[in-house]
């Protein structure tokens, strides 16, 4: 029993060590997660008392409980979301190796002006700190100060004499403080930030575009990694074209006892039902002969095909499809004609090489079986032709 307890304790320690290391590398981290971007702000409270961790965690959760859209390069909306989370822990609970990964905040008793030592820089490998008062008049004060840690400046015009003497200009819009504002030591919000937590009134909410997206831009710099990627934007904004295919075909007929080929042409039409799925129809007529018997084969199929984004970008594309329908074969020997109808199918892929913005050369290869009372004929079909994007499409 003693050995089992020791094993459990050892395992718990190992798990605790792994979890303790599961932190981002700096106080504010911006990183991609599929189409989404994850913004993580890690705060550690020093000289914290009972309730500080829970209170400030609740305050930050309340501010960051929102979903923000990360815009595409052209400013439109894609599939990308910004997920923001704040992690609040006790400074003394951290291992020495993890302390540099957190913004170090010293908690002060009573009421006062909470502040940070410096505006942080996301993804810089550095974590700034500050001093926060325990009895702030609004929990959103902690949200305001946390956004400083994440990289945002104040968005109010500081008209206090000592700040003016230092040349502080939070708004950077060319306006200056009025004489009345200087005399009053006022701090009016910058234009457009009157209802934002980084303006004068910290009881206002955090705004996606003015605050969260701005942090992403600061982390982004000259690197477009944190702009919504083309693939995540195209899924929303690309136009999917209708398509017409005209080609010549040969079917390698699985005929008993002798195999033979039929030759003809087929016509295909694709109609978009989503950005990647097309309703597809295919009709063809084929001719051939074997051992003195001439054959005429008519086939009509319908099903679905998948066209990737490369098709609408006018790039080399591979489009799989699966179809089902009927085929009718008329055979004629001397003056005797017979006719039979079978269930048919086609499963294959089309390779398309664009030539112009609307036209391209396409090759289709598919398994084209037919099912009748005699069994299954394992036929294969090869088609070569041209296709056109038709006017109109589906967003």
Per the domain annotation, does 64 fall within a domain?
Answer: yes
Per the domain annotation, does 187 fall within a domain?
Answer: no
The helix (H) or strand (E) run that includes residue 135 is none
Residues 264 and 343 in one domain: yes
107 in helix, strand or coil? Answer: strand
Q: What are the tens digits of pLDDT across the range 243-275?
A: 999 999 999 998 777 789 999 999 999 998 887
Residues 251 and 215 in one domain: no
Place 4 in a pLDDT band, splitting at 50, 70 and 90.
Answer: very low
Predicted TM-score (pTM) of this structure: 0.60
Per the domain annotation, does 13 fall within a domain?
Answer: no
DSSP state of 194: T
Residues 74 and 50 in one domain: yes
Residues 136 and 121 in one domain: yes
Per the domain annotation, does 18 fall within a domain?
Answer: no
The residue segments making up the domain with residue 199 are 23-155+193-234
Task: Give the pLDDT of residue 21.
Answer: 58
Q: Among 387, 304, 299, 298, which residue's Cα sits nearest to residue 347?
A: 304
Number of structural domains the chain divides into = 2
* Structure tokens, 329: 């074969």
For residue 66, say if its preceding peptide bond is cis, omega within 30 degrees of 0.
Answer: no
Residues 86 and 230 in one domain: yes
Per the domain annotation, does 252 fall within a domain?
Answer: yes
In the block, which residue shows the tokens 């702030």?
A: 136
Task: Give the pLDDT of residue 165.
Answer: 87
Res. 235: pLDDT tops 80: no
103-108 and 336-354 as β-strands: parallel, antiparallel, unpaired? unpaired
CA–CA dist 59, 55 (Å, integer): 6
∠ CA 59-63-64 to the nearest 5 degrees?
115
Task: Give the pLDDT of residue 169.
Answer: 87
In the block, which residue shows the tokens 């000289």?
A: 47
Per the domain annotation, does 177 fall within a domain?
Answer: no
In the block, which residue shows the tokens 């981002």?
A: 24
In the block, which residue shows the tokens 């074969």?
A: 329
CA–CA dist 95, 378 (Å, integer): 68
Instruction: Name the H helices within 65-212.
Output: 140-150, 161-165, 179-184
Residues 81 and 227 in one domain: yes
Quick check: 6 and 13 in contact, CB under 8 A? no
279-305: average pLDDT: 95
Range with lowest mean pLDDT among 37-51, 115-129, 216-230, 286-300: 216-230
Quick check: 152 and 209 in contact, CB under 8 A? no
CA–CA dist 138, 195 (Å, integer): 16
Residues 271 and 146 in one domain: no
Residues 145 and 228 in one domain: yes
Residue that terminates a domain, selected from 206, 234, 262: 234
CA–CA dist 181, 169 (Å, integer): 14
362-380: average pLDDT: 93
Per the domain annotation, does 103 fall within a domain?
Answer: yes
Residues 216 and 248 in one domain: no
Residue 54: give its domain's CATH number. 3.40.390
Residues 215 and 268 in one domain: no
DSSP state of 117: S
Residues 44 and 80 in one domain: yes
Residue 361: give its domain's CATH number. 2.40.160.20
Task: Give the pLDDT of residue 10.
Answer: 44
Place 6 in a pLDDT band, splitting at 50, 70 and 90.
Answer: very low
Per the domain annotation, does 173 fall within a domain?
Answer: no
């Amino acid at each position: 029993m003693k050995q089992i307890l020791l094993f459990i304790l050892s395992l718990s320690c190992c798990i605790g060590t792994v979890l303790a290391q599961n932190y981002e590398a700096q106080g504010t981290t911006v990183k991609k997660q599929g189409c989404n971007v994850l913004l993580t702000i890690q705060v550690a409270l020093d000289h914290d008392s009972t309730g500080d961790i829970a209170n400030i965690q609740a305050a930050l959760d309340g501010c960051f409980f929102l979903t923000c859209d990360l815009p595409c390069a052209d400013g439109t909306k894609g599939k990308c979301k910004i997920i923001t989370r704040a992690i609040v822990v006790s400074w003394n609970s951290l291992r020495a190796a993890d302390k540099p990964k957190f913004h170090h905040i010293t908690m002060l008793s009573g009421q006062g002006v909470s502040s940070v030592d410096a505006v942080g820089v996301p993804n810089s490998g550095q974590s700034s700190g500050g001093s926060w008062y325990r009895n702030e008049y609004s929990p959103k004060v902690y949200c305001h100060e946390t956004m400083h840690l994440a990289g945002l400046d104040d968005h109010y015009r500081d008209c206090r004499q000592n700040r003016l003497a230092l040349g502080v200009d939070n708004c950077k819009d060319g306006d200056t403080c009025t004489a009345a504002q200087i005399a009053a030591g006022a701090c009016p919000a910058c234009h457009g930030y009157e209802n934002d937590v980084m303006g004068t009134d910290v009881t206002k909410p955090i705004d996606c575009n003015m605050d969260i997206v701005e942090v992403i831009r600061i982390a982004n710099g000259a690197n477009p990694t944190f702009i919504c990627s083309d693939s995540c934007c195209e899924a929303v904004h690309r136009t999917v074209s209708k398509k017409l295919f005209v080609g010549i075909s040969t079917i390698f007929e699985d005929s008993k006892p002798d195999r033979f080929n039929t030759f003809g042409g087929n016509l295909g039409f694709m109609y978009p039902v989503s950005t990647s799925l097309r309703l597809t129809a295919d009709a063809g007529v084929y001719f051939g002969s074997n051992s003195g018997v001439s054959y005429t084969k008519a086939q009509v199929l319908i099903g679905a095909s998948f066209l990737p984004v490369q098709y609408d970008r006018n790039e080399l594309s591979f489009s799989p499809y699966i179809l089902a329908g009927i085929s009718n074969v008329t055979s004629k020997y001397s003056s005797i004609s017979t006719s039979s109808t079978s269930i048919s199918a086609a499963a294959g892929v089309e390779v398309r090489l664009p030539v112009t913005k609307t036209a391209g050369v396409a090759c289709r290869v598919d398994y084209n079986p037919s099912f009748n009372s005699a069994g299954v004929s394992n036929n294969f079909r090869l088609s070569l032709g041209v296709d056109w994007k038709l006017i109109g499409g589906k967003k």
